[in-house]
Amino acid sequence: MSTSAPLPVDLRSDTVTKPSPGMRAAMAAAEVGDDVLGEDPTVLRLQARAAALLGVEAALFVPSGTMANQIALKVHCEPSDEVIVSDGAHVVWHEMGGGAALAGVQLTAVGRGGLFSAADVEGAFRPATTLQSPTRLVCVENTHNRAGGIVWPRAALDGVIAASRRLGLRLHLDGARLLNACAASGESPAALAAGFDTVSLAFSKGLGAPVGSVIAGARPLVERAHRFRKMFGGGMRQAGILAAAALFALEHNVGRLPEDHANARLLADRLATLLGLSVEPPPSNIVMVDLGAHLPGAAALSERLGARGVLCFPFGARRLRLVTHLDVSRAQCEQAAEIFADVIAAEPSR
């Protein structure tokens, strides 16, 4: 009698999760209406819940975190304006040049390792003159994806907000994984969102919903965002089916985020013992693994790991990214570490 092969340990992203039976039931039972006409009761309930969670007046449900960020650029800026972002920001690396194509803005990266300071903002600031485009907006990403899920220290965040306000700049928080930042820091979503004009929050990263984000802020800004959501093709009809999944995620999947962080630390601790791997302790649910000179490159090693059932993404020529989530257990993380050890041991010394 044959037995089925074990399921892969999918550490590519916290977006690969599947809706749970409870989430699917909530989606199937969702009360719906035409959201483009503002008549979907489940979407309205989600938007009110998200606004309350973030401590702002209003929120708008959109299909993706990328759209939320791109709407924010459009809401705050005019074409040719400059936007200050972090080194490795999602809005630069993973949004297909949308800032230039859709809002017509210039993105200037400052700082290092996903963080920047008040001095960085002041140094990059350009006032409006006849010789240059003005700096209009500052974007903060918390947690920061390419920096390994780093959580902004409170003092650094407060300094950037204060400097931006002194200079008359607007502020957007890319909070796709903001609830991971809350789980890691112990602060509330409203506390981490305070001081920003707009905030984005994703339900498909870490929370287990199949799709969807919000952009939130003061009501006039969200009303302006509604216009650009329609312009960008983000107006959905009976979207309550999707909003129900997001509401279920907020009810059931926020409190368990520390489990993902603990699993990431376990995985990092195990991998750090392997010859040729350099692993920093993860601040949240993202583990970055740097490869020593005797190992193959990230693309080749991820292919070998995938053949053994551990899926991960190359995140540079010699860096792998592994992300824990609700569909990966502690036992699977232990299994992944063992497979890593086997694959690394099979590599000849150079």
Residue 217 Rama label (left phi>0; alpha psi -120 to 50; beta): left
Residue keyed to tokens 């409870």: 22
Rounded CA-CA distance 178/332 in Å is 25
Closest CA to 249 of 15, 7, 9, 60: 15
Cα–Cα distance between 107 and 104 in angstroms, integer? 10
Spatial separation of the C-alpha atoms in residues 193 and 182, rounded to whole Å: 10
In this structure, the answer to whether residues 211 and 291 fall within a common structural domain is no
Boundary of a domain, candidates 252, 284, 314: 252
Are 210 and 296 found together in one domain?
A: no
- Which one is predicted more confidently, 3 or 297? 297
The answer to whether residues 310 and 8 touch, using CB atoms and an 8 Å cutoff, is yes
Count Cβ atoms within 10 A of the Cβ of residue 133 and give its class: 0-12 exposed, 13-18 middle, 19 or more buried.
middle
Q: Note whether 76 and 202 are same-domain residues.
A: yes
- Is residue 323 located within the same domain as residue 186? no
List pLDDT tens digits, range 303-341. 999 999 999 999 999 999 999 999 999 999 999 999 999
184 and 90 assigned to the same domain? yes
The Cα–Cα gap between 225 and 342 comes to 50
CB 118 within 8 A of CB 162: yes
Q: Is residue 72 part of a domain?
A: yes
Q: With respect to residue 3, please indicate whether it lies within any of the assigned structural domains.
A: no
Tell me how far apart the terminal alpha carbons of the chain are, to the nearest angstrom. 43
Confidence bin at 7 (pLDDT 50/70/90)? confident
Structure tokens at 223: 């009303």
Q: Rounded CA gap, 1 and 255, in Å?
A: 41
Kindly calculate the radius of gyration of the chain based on its CA atoms and give it in whole angstroms.
Answer: 21
Report the pLDDT averaged over residues 77-98: 97
> pLDDT tens digits for 223-261?
999 999 999 999 999 999 999 999 999 999 999 999 999
**pLDDT-based confidence at residue 3 (cuts at 50, 70, 90):** very low
Residue 68 pLDDT > 90? yes
Going by pLDDT thresholds of 50, 70 and 90, the confidence category of residue 347 is: confident
For residues 198 and 170, what is the distance between their CA atoms, to the nearest angstrom? 9
Single out the residue of 330, 204, 182 nearest to residue 265, CA to CA.
Answer: 330
Question: Tell me: the pLDDT tens digits for 142-195?
Answer: 999 999 999 999 999 999 999 999 999 999 999 999 999 999 999 999 999 999
Contact 315, 12 (CB under 8 A): no
The H-or-E segment that residue 173 falls in is strand 170-175
| 26 found inside a domain | no
Contact 221, 234 (CB under 8 A): no
The answer as to whether 224 is a domain residue is yes
Which pLDDT belongs to residue 155? 97
The whole-model pTM stands at 0.95
pLDDT at residue 5 tops 80: no
- The residue among 91, 75, 78 whose CA lies nearest residue 226 is 75
Mean pLDDT of 31-60: 98
What is the per-residue pLDDT for 316?
A: 94
Q: Mean pLDDT over residues 78-105, rounded?
A: 97
| Angle, vertex CA 89, rays to CA 165 and CA 270, nearest 5 | 125
Do residues 247 and 293 both lie within one domain?
Answer: no
- For residue 71, being part of any structural domain is answered with yes
For residue 346, the model assigns a pLDDT of 87
Structural domain count, the chain = 2
Last residue of a domain, one of 252, 270, 289: 252
The CB density around residue 57, as the number of other CB atoms within 10 Å, is: 14
Query: Is 201 found in the same domain as 100?
Result: yes
In what helix (H) or strand (E) does residue 109 lie, and over which residues does it extend? Answer: strand 106-110
- The sign one gets for the Cα dihedral 335, 180, 174, 229 is positive
Q: How many angstroms separate the Cα of 293 from the Cα of each of 55, 214, 344, 347, 349?
A: 48, 43, 12, 11, 10
Query: Is 223 found in the same domain as 211?
Result: yes
Mark which of 217, 252, 287 sits at the end of a domain. 252
Stretch 122-132: mean pLDDT, rounded? 94
4 pLDDT band, cuts 50/70/90, is very low
Residue 1 pLDDT = 35
On whether residue 56 sits in a domain, the answer given is: yes
- Give me the domain span that covers residue 136: 31-252
| pLDDT higher than threshold 70 for residue 349 | no
pLDDT of residue 207: 98
